[in-house]
Amino acid sequence: MAERATLSSVAERAGTSRQTVSNVLNAPERVRPETRDRVRAAIEATGYRPHVAARQLRTRRSMNVGLRLMPLQDGINGSILDAFVHALTENAAHAGYRLVLFSAPDDDGEIAAYDELLETADLDAFVLTSTHHGDRRTRWLLDHGVAFATFGRPWSAGTDPRDSVHHWVDVDGRLGAAAATRHLRDLGHERIGFLGWPAGSGAGDERRAGWRDVLGAAAVLDEAVTDGVRQGSDAAARLLAAGATALVCASDSLALGAFHRTTAVVGFDDTPVAAAVGLSSVAQPVEAAAAHVVAMLARALGDPVPPVLPSTPDRHVLLEPRLVVRDEPVSLAHP
Amino acid sequence: MAERATLSSVAERAGTSRQTVSNVLNAPERVRPETRDRVRAAIEATGYRPHVAARQLRTRRSMNVGLRLMPLQDGINGSILDAFVHALTENAAHAGYRLVLFSAPDDDGEIAAYDELLETADLDAFVLTSTHHGDRRTRWLLDHGVAFATFGRPWSAGTDPRDSVHHWVDVDGRLGAAAATRHLRDLGHERIGFLGWPAGSGAGDERRAGWRDVLGAAAVLDEAVTDGVRQGSDAAARLLAAGATALVCASDSLALGAFHRTTAVVGFDDTPVAAAVGLSSVAQPVEAAAAHVVAMLARALGDPVPPVLPSTPDRHVLLEPRLVVRDEPVSLAHP
């Protein structure tokens, strides 16, 4: 196995401490010339490349990017954000960034955390998720000149033009819900209901709009409930009683509740639970979203964008979701 | 809404920049006396408490704790680690630590990342997950005098006494599998099979041992397969053909596959998928595990352990799991 050269392997080969190797790289004047030569020979021999270290020392930057980890919900609807954290960690590494997680009870707590983290952790940038109407977090970061990008578009951009200036990546949920509605119509359903969240949620309103786009005047069977499996089950019963024969849902949590009442259901986010029970669902391309977010941050920070990341210079990226159609649970679907 | 005082609110009140407030706290000699007085009055008036900042400057420590985020698997078996990351982020904040995530392809990559992170990110400690036999990661950290704790016990401690010295928290999977087996026996099953992983996995072997503890000489129906829903489905078919009427499984991924062949199945980790389909499962107390890990790190680093964290001075903690019995999917179970 070819071991990767590290500060330790250089130190071992040169017969010095890690600190001495670090000094040769950062403060060579502190090291005796013969030790310096020995360490430099060891760096050459091992092929050690202190890229991140060197860049960091040159720029005096932390290379740390902060992200508030949202609280776990029921483990269904929130799993898309965990998948995004995985993708962000991988993609951040391509650009030499590391992800610093923090928690906060609400937006004000998140803003207070920005302030504290800028002071104590010397963060270079932030990534925000779960954007919503009247989002004070993005305004605070703009006011303070902090680099950031959001996974989720600025929902108040139409009413407050300042909201439209920042970097964002989002997935077109309206397209996704429209694809789900067309799929059910193609299966022969004429009375297709929408099971979503109360009006005012940016993402939820977009998904409802996609259902309306396809059905037009026939978009009448509409239930708005808070997210959750039981809420989905109860609202699905009402929609079916009102004559619906199929349901487009704003989340897999709602869809799972509906799925025990009828299998003509499409969920949203293609969670592991959807795969487990054989539920069709709209998948968000979180891997691509994370890659765009990191590329945007790199450009904003003046860092090179590695070839593995998207090279488009767009400040705003709206990705297309993909409908995943399932006939049966993953364990029964044979290849 | 009572806003929490921050560096920015102090600066605003004092009519200075955030940097000036920071200077008053850290290098007061650089600030003109009248500005210093104004900033100090603003700190007093706003009630600003620069705890973390102050401690960090006093100790010259980053307060950053590193964690390798393991790759996403099928979204079922790995979700316990995502829940642990959530719990760790919350609990780390209680002690003033932040979690720095990184990715690595394997153990050697993780060790190289330790080296690079110690050099460039000035981490105070690491948290490790997914410990296994012959784990080189813990030895490297011991050799380099780095503070760390593992979620997962040192599986080679019996053969290499050095492995037993570090801080660890684990969950007693043997107890959990025994509880699952007794539950199925209490339901009247006499031929209970075990559906687990190939021998050599520490956690998997413990779970198999718990099944054997209860069945003794009757523990004969045993399948060992790599983790996965389809593998679980296929192996369950073989166990049922061999006469098993109920199955204890080493993971919810395996159990989900088995569940479509018989409902007399108990899984492991109590994932959202188990709740969704109505599968009984053994739950790990990840919240308590994370709290113990953070308390151990605080003691190792000489930091105060806040009252919200466990005060036991143990270096090794083995927590009890809990069997969650379900009769039907969460959406159908009415309160």
Q: Residues 6 or more apart from A183 whose CB is under 8 A from it?
A: A266, A280, A323, A325
Measured between beta carbons, the chain A residues lying within 8 angstroms of B259 are 331
Query: CA of A65: which chain B residue's CA is closest?
Result: B100
When CB atoms are compared, the residue of A6, A75, A85 closest to B116 is A6
- Separation in Å, CA of B112 to nearest CA in chain A: 6
Domain parsing of chain A, residue ranges: 1-41, 64-165+286-319, 173-284
- Separation in Å, CA of B74 to nearest CA in chain A: 7
CB B322 within 8 A of CB B110: no
Measured between beta carbons, the chain B residues lying within 8 angstroms of A75 are 79, 83, 271-272, 275
Q: Which of A101, A108, A126, A247 to mutate to test the interface with B (most CBs of B within 10 A)?
A: A101
Structure confidence at residue B244 as a pLDDT band (50, 70, 90): very high
Tokens standing for A204? 């939820």
Measured between beta carbons, the chain A residues lying within 8 angstroms of B64 are 100, 121
Contact A101 B85 (CB under 8 A): yes
Is residue B248 helix, strand or coil? strand
Q: A1-41, which class in CATH? A: mainly alpha
Residue range B1-44, CATH number: 1.10.260
Measured between beta carbons, the chain A residues lying within 8 angstroms of B53 are 116, 119-120
Q: Please choose, from the candidates A228, A245, A151, A138, the residue with its C-alpha nearest in 3D space to the C-alpha of residue A191.
A: A245
Q: Which fold has domain B173-284?
A: Rossmann fold (3.40.50)
Domain A1-41 and domain A64-165+286-319 have a common topology: no
Task: Work out the average pLDDT over B274-292.
Answer: 95
The answer to whether the Cα torsion of A216, A219, A225, A226 is positive or negative is: negative
When CB atoms are compared, the residue of B63, B89, B119 closest to A101 is B89
Query: CA of B143: which chain A residue's CA is closest?
Result: A8
Contact A76 B331 (CB under 8 A): no
Spell out a b/e string for A290-329, using b for 16 or more CB atoms within 10 Å of the CB, else e.
Answer: bbbbbbbbbbbbebebeeebbeeeeebbebebebeebeeb
Give this complex's ipTM. Answer: 0.82
Is residue B127 helix, strand or coil? strand
Contact A101 B98 (CB under 8 A): yes
Amino acid at B246: A
Contact B4 A112 (CB under 8 A): yes
Task: Work out the average pLDDT over B215-230.
Answer: 96
What pLDDT is stored for residue A2 in this prediction?
Answer: 41
Residue A177 has pLDDT above 90, yes or no: yes
**Spacing of C-alpha B120 from chain mean position:** 25
Q: Please choose, from the candidates A60, A100, A18, A56, the residue with its C-alpha nearest in 3D space to the C-alpha of residue B85.
A: A100
d(CA A245, CA A327) in angstroms, rounded, equals: 17
DSSP H helices in B218-331: 229-241, 252-259, 272-277, 286-301
What pLDDT is stored for residue A59 in this prediction?
Answer: 58
B49 compared with A316, residue with greater pLDDT: A316
Measured between beta carbons, the chain A residues lying within 8 angstroms of B330 are 229-230, 256
Residue A99 has pLDDT above 70, yes or no: yes
Contact B260 A117 (CB under 8 A): no
Contact A101 B108 (CB under 8 A): no
Lowest mean pLDDT among A15-29, A124-138, B171-185: A15-29
A116 compared with B168, residue with greater pLDDT: B168
d(CA A38, CA A35) in angstroms, rounded, equals: 5
Measured between beta carbons, the chain B residues lying within 8 angstroms of A232 are 331
Measured between beta carbons, the chain B residues lying within 8 angstroms of A18 are 118-119
pLDDT tens digits for range A115-135: 888 877 778 999 999 999 989
Lowest mean pLDDT among A119-123, A154-158, A178-182, A255-259: A119-123
Contact A79 B79 (CB under 8 A): yes
d(CA B91, CA A16) in angstroms, rounded, equals: 38
How many CA atoms lie less than 13 Å away from A108 in the CB half-sphere? 6
B177 compared with B165, residue with greater pLDDT: B177
When CB atoms are compared, the residue of A22, A100, A116 closest to B100 is A100
Contact A72 B93 (CB under 8 A): no
Concatenated DSSP letters of A24-59? HHH-GGGS-HHHHHHHHHHHHHHT---HHHHHHHHH
Q: Give the β-pairing of B167-171 and B222-224.
A: unpaired
Is residue B11 helix, strand or coil? helix
When CB atoms are compared, the residue of B7, B232, B272 closest to A119 is B7
A283 compared with B23, residue with greater pLDDT: A283
What pLDDT is stored for residue B296 in this prediction?
Answer: 96
Measured between beta carbons, the chain B residues lying within 8 angstroms of A257 are 331
What pLDDT is stored for residue A60 in this prediction?
Answer: 64
CATH architecture of B64-171+286-319: 3-Layer(aba) Sandwich (3.40)
What pLDDT is stored for residue A26 in this prediction?
Answer: 66
What is the radius of gyration, based on Cα positions, of chain B? Answer: 25
Q: Which of B21, B25, B64, B101 to mutate to test the interface with A (most CBs of A within 10 A)?
A: B101
Contact A4 B112 (CB under 8 A): yes
d(CA B294, CA B147) in angstroms, rounded, equals: 12
Interface contacts (A, B; CB < 8 Å) = 178
Residue range A64-165+286-319, CATH number: 3.40.50.2300
- Separation in Å, CA of B57 to nearest CA in chain A: 8
Contact B89 A99 (CB under 8 A): no
Residues above pLDDT 70, as percent of chain B: 92
pLDDT tens digits for range A32-85: 888 888 988 888 788 776 554 554 455 567 889 999 999 887 778 788 999 999
When CB atoms are compared, the residue of A100, A108, A277 closest to B3 is A108
Structure confidence at residue A24 as a pLDDT band (50, 70, 90): confident
Residue B290 has pLDDT above 90, yes or no: yes
d(CA B129, CA B16) in angstroms, rounded, equals: 45
d(CA A233, CA B70) in angstroms, rounded, equals: 34
Q: Please choose, from the candidates A104, A23, A26, A115, the residue with its C-alpha nearest in 3D space to the C-alpha of residue A70.
A: A104
How many helices and strands (H and E) does chain A possess?
13, 12
Contact A79 B74 (CB under 8 A): no
Residue A332 has pLDDT above 70, yes or no: no
Distances (CA, A) of B67 to A12, A45, A274: 26, 30, 29
